[in-house]
């Protein structure tokens, strides 16, 4: 058992398994499709929603210790010996300095992105951080990060699907179609949000995208490319129009909560950047992964960062940051700012369409990434084999895609879990941390293996990535850590009772000669 936990899967074996006709995916993606895939995931609801929330901060009438940032509690405990001074009403506002938060998170992600690029060029296999961890750190780390990514993708997509339903009502209303709340809002929602019987738009949009994903990655990529062009166009229109409505006084004070607000804002808006790791889930379907994966990962990060900072500066120059704390201003800050400042109705409609396209492309890419992680885990035996079954015609993991579709669509119809979106942040940061460590391990263990891309200044750049990830994780509230640990505990129970008995290394143990039971070790995995 202990040796199995730390057994690493050979990179050559991973590549050989991916070429098995029963589990082979079709290679159709070029470099620009990979960039569009990354932009489709990164620039979603966050740019239209979370920018205002992070700038204004979050406030609750009743203070709770579990709302406090872990980093604040630790510093308070060190300085004063108690944490009572850090019982929080919410999170401090970042103000216009949210632009600095975007830059800080982009820098943190860029170090992690370089690490992803190196591993993706070496291990062009579906599964992203899960596969890289299996090849570098061992089976138990692979299971933990795979289980973690399942939560990350599912929670974020439920939140985006619910947000899509809220935005979708606006263009319908302009066409004279009014969806009642009882069929366009979830049954369970936070206090103050609309409640209904079932969120039908949120449910249907996920199933429609599921059908598209089942029919093939080429068709899905083409659809995503169109949506990405539309939403980038809408963002550029907002930047151009909004820049003429800026009042410089709204940028003062620039950082109302100092560095604590910048870090808190970064922890909130990190949710908007997590999509770039979705590019690495497409490695097995890229035509030239050694060359194109680094291009897709780094290119999508650069484009997204420039757009995020520009939107943040324009939006917070249009209205004071405190405006976006409550109500409609918090739910749809970009659309709200345009309406309050009496922008052209056509412009407002364009922004709404851009927001919808952003959410759709984000949903599409995350649903795609989720199924590829399930596919990789199933092919390794850690999940049931049905998840790695490939459709004979479309060459997609169809069962995995349908199961993932209903796993997101049904909760999106029933519950608004946007308050738990921080789970996506902590899960992604944990994945980034392990990927960064994986680069260091592989450089030591297999220094001569060909790499299509190399991270400069190893081990320093990966270690900087690790430090950034830890700081941002500590910037999340206590309740997020508790939820994350509970989810990991559930995963460890499943691993102990199912996955460890069905993995490749468990099969090797059963097939090994009898003398292995008397003290000999398994043959080396590498």
Residue 164 near residue 178 (C-beta atoms within 8 A): no
Helix (H) or strand (E) holding 106: helix 98-122
User: Between 385 and 424, where is the model more confident?
Assistant: 385
Q: Which residues contact 86 (CB under 8 A, 6 or more apart)?
A: 65, 68, 69, 72, 73, 76
Q: Would the pLDDT of 65 be above 70?
A: no
Q: Which of 356, 352, 400, 386 is CA-nearest to residue 164?
A: 356
Contact 522, 516 (CB under 8 A): yes
Q: Give residue-wise pLDDT tens across range 397-422.
A: 999 999 999 999 999 888 876 666 66
Domains of the chain with CATH codes: 30-57+92-512 (1.20.1740.10)
Contact (CB, 8 A) for 278 and 34: no
Q: How confident is the model at residue 51 (pLDDT cuts 50, 70, 90)?
A: confident
Q: Tell me which of 49 and 254 has the higher pLDDT.
A: 254
Smallest CA-to-CA distance from 23 within 361, 355, 385, 514 is with: 385
Read off the pLDDT of residues 177-199 as tens digits, 9 standing for 90 and up: 778 878 887 887 666 666 778 98
């Amino acid at each position: 058992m202990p040796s199995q936990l730390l057994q690493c899967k050979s990179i050559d074996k991973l590549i050989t398994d991916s070429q098995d006709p029963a589990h082979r995916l079709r290679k159709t993606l070029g470099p620009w499709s990979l960039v569009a895939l990354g932009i489709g995931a990164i620039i979603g609801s966050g740019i239209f929603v979370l920018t205002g929330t992070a700038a204004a901060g979050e406030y609750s009438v009743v203070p709770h210790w579990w709302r406090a940032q872990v980093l604040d509690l630790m510093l308070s405990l060190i300085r004063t010996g108690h944490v009572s001074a850090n019982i929080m009403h919410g999170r401090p506002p970042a103000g216009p300095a949210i632009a600095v938060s975007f830059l800080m998170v982009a820098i943190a992600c860029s170090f992690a992105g370089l690490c992803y690029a190196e591993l993706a060029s070496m291990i062009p296999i579906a599964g992203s951080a899960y596969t890289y961890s299996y090849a570098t750190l061992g089976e138990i780390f692979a299971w933990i990060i795979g289980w973690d990514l399942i939560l990350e993708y599912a929670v974020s997509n439920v939140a985006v699907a619910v947000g899509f339903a809220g935005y979708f009502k606006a263009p319908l209303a302009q066409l004279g179609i009014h969806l009642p709340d009882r069929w366009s809002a979830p049954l369970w929602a936070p206090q103050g949000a609309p409640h209904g019987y079932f969120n039908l738009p949120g449910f249907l949009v996920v199933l429609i995208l599921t059908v598209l994903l089942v029919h093939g990655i080429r068709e899905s990529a083409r659809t995503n490319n169109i949506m990405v062009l539309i939403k980038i166009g809408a963002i550029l229109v907002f930047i151009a129009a909004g820049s003429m409505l800026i009042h410089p006084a709204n940028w003062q004070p620039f950082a109302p909560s100092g560095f604590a607000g910048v870090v808190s804002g970064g922890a909130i808006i990190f949710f908007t950047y997590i999509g770039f790791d979705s590019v690495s889930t497409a490695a097995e379907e890229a035509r030239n992964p050694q060359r194109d994966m680094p291009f897709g990962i780094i290119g999508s990060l650069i484009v997204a960062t420039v757009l995020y900072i520009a939107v943040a500066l324009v939006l917070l120059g249009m209205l004071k940051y405190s405006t976006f704390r409550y109500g409609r201003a918090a739910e749809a800050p970009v659309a709200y700012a345009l309406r309050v400042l009496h922008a052209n109705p056509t412009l407002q409609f364009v922004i709404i369409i851009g927001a919808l396209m952003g959410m759709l492309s984000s949903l599409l890419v995350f649903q795609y990434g989720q199924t590829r992680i399930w596919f990789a885990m199933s092919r390794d035996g850690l999940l049931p084999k049905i998840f790695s079954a490939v459709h004979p015609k479309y060459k997609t993991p169809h069962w995995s895609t349908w199961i993932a579709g209903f796993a997101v669509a049904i909760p999106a119809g029933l519950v608004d879990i946007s308050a738990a979106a921080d789970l996506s942040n902590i899960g992604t940061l944990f994945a980034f941390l392990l990927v960064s460590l994986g680069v260091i391990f592989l450089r030591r263990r297999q220094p001569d293996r060909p790499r299509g891309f190399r991270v400069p200044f190893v081990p320093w750049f990966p270690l900087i990535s690790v430090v950034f990830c830890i700081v941002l994780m500590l910037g999340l509230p206590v309740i997020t850590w508790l939820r994350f640990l509970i989810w990991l505990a559930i995963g460890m129970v499943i691993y102990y009772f199912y996955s460890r008995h069905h993995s490749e290394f468990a099969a090797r143990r059963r097939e090994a000669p009898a003398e292995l039971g008397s003290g000999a070790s398994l043959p080396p995995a590498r």
